[in-house]
Amino acid sequence: MLLLSIRFHKLVTRCYCPSAEVTKRALKAGLKPSQIKVYGLPVRPSFAKPVPPKDELRRELGMDEDLPAVLLMGGGEGMGPIEATARALDNALYDESLGEPRGQILIICGRNKKLTNRLQSINWKIPVQVKGFVTKMEECMGACDCIITKAGPGTIAEAMIRGLPIILNGYIAGQEAGNVPYVVENGCGKFSKSPEHIAKIVADWFGPRSD
């Protein structure tokens, strides 16, 4: 990931770098090539294994097998404008003229039980599955076609492994800020803090429903 500020200690036995850019910075800071190992960003081992087909994963998660799906999450604590974004998606992914959905949402609320209960009580126009804390994120990502999340480096790396287009809707100042241009400038996704704009991006990606 692109980092705003990195400090290196010249006396370390080994420096593990997550990218070529960080490696260049380590060399510039005075570390020797023999001290540096480039291993990529650490991710959960489960992301190194194949997952079942998308339709099978959707059945297991209670999702529609055919509708394109967006994964909406805010980290383990369910942070960020999840409800506002979900409501905007509910409007943007519902075809008023046909009276039918053209997409669905899988929402991961993490440990935020109040948010989980609140979202589960809403009468949505489109198919929406609301989950609390999950342990098989690789399957949730495997069931979806794109992801909306804050700019956590682990989630970004895992979404890239799954080949999901990414929409970043926020970041923790300092430690996550540099991840936004990393995603956008490398063509991996977009950034917006507006729930309505995010919903429009997803609707444009999904396009009209085709049966």
Per-residue pLDDT tens for 54-96?
999 999 999 999 999 999 998 777 678 999 999 999 999 999 9
Question: Which of the four pLDDT bands, split at 50, 70 and 90, describes residue 211?
Answer: low
Contact 199, 167 (CB under 8 A): no
Per-residue pLDDT tens for 99-142?
999 999 999 999 999 999 999 999 999 999 999 999 999 999 99
Percent of the chain at pLDDT exceeding 90? 76
| Strand-strand pairing, 94-95 and 100-101 | antiparallel
What CATH number matches the domain at 45-206, 3.40.50.2000, 3.40.30.10, 3.50.50.60, 3.40.50.970?
3.40.50.2000
List every span in the chain annotated with CATH 3.40.50.2000: 45-206
Phi/psi of residue 91, nearest 5 degrees: -75, -45
Q: Cα separation of 48 and 70, whole Å?
A: 22
The encoded tokens of residue 83 equal 């409800």
Would the pLDDT of 2 be above 50? no
Is the sign of the CA dihedral 155, 160, 166, 168 positive or negative? Answer: positive
Percent of the chain at pLDDT exceeding 70? 95
Would the pLDDT of 1 be above 80? no
The closest alpha carbon to 101, from 122, 70, 127, 119, belongs to: 127
